[in-house]
Structure 1
C-alpha cells in the first residue's frame, strides 16, 4: 500500500532532533527553491538554547540545510552536525547554519 503524499506545510510545527536524540528546535517555516521545486532548508524556532547559546543572539531562529534531514515522521531527524556546531568545532557544514533575524 502506498502512502499518500503529505503537504509540505505539514512539516510546520514538528520538532527537530539530531540523530543522537538531542532536541534542536521546532519547524516554523520551510525554505524553498521554486525553480527547482525543492525544499532547501528548514527554518527552526523554539531552539534548544544550550546548543545555540551565544551563536544566534538577536535572532529568533536558524535555517538548517534540508540535505541534513535523515528522516521525517512524527518528528524530523537531522545529522548530528548541530552538536558539533555546539562543540565549537570548525566543521564546514556547521557554518551553513544561518541565523534568522527577528521578524516583526
Structure 2
C-alpha cells in the first residue's frame, strides 16, 4: 500500500544533510517548474558556514538542484557532491556549483 503523498510545503523546515552525514542547511523554500509540475530546487538557509565558505559569502542562502536529492524523510539527503564545493572549479563537476540566492 502506498502512503499518501505529502504536500510540497512539508519540505520547508527540514534539515538537509549530505550522504556522508554533513549538515548542509535547512529548507526555506522550494523552486518549482509549474509547466512540468515538478520541484527543481531546494532553497536552503541556515547554511553550514564551513561548507559554503567562499561560495555564499554575503548571501542568505543557496539553491540546491533537486536532482542532487537522494532521499526525503525526516531529513533530506543530497549527493556528497555538495561537499566538493571547496575543491575549486578545476576539480568540481560542472553541475557542482550551487546557485546563489541574493537577499
Q: Same fold (TM over 0.5)?
A: yes
In structure 1, the partner of 2:99 is: 98
Question: Tell me, what secondary structure is at the counterpart of 2:60?
Answer: strand
Determine if the alignment matches structure 1 residue 72 to structure 2 residue 103: no
Determine if the alignment matches structure 1 residue 6 to structure 2 residue 12: no
Instruction: Measure the CA separation in 2 of the matches of 1:46 and 1:21.
Output: 16
In structure 1, the partner of 2:82 is: 82
C-alpha deviation, 1:90, in angstroms:
2.8
Residues 15-94 of structure 1 mapped to structure 2, 5 A cutoff: 15-88=15-88, 89-94=91-96
TM-score (normalised: structure 1): 0.93
The count of aligned residue pairs is 101
TM-score (normalised: structure 2): 0.94
Unaligned ranges ≥5, structure 2: none
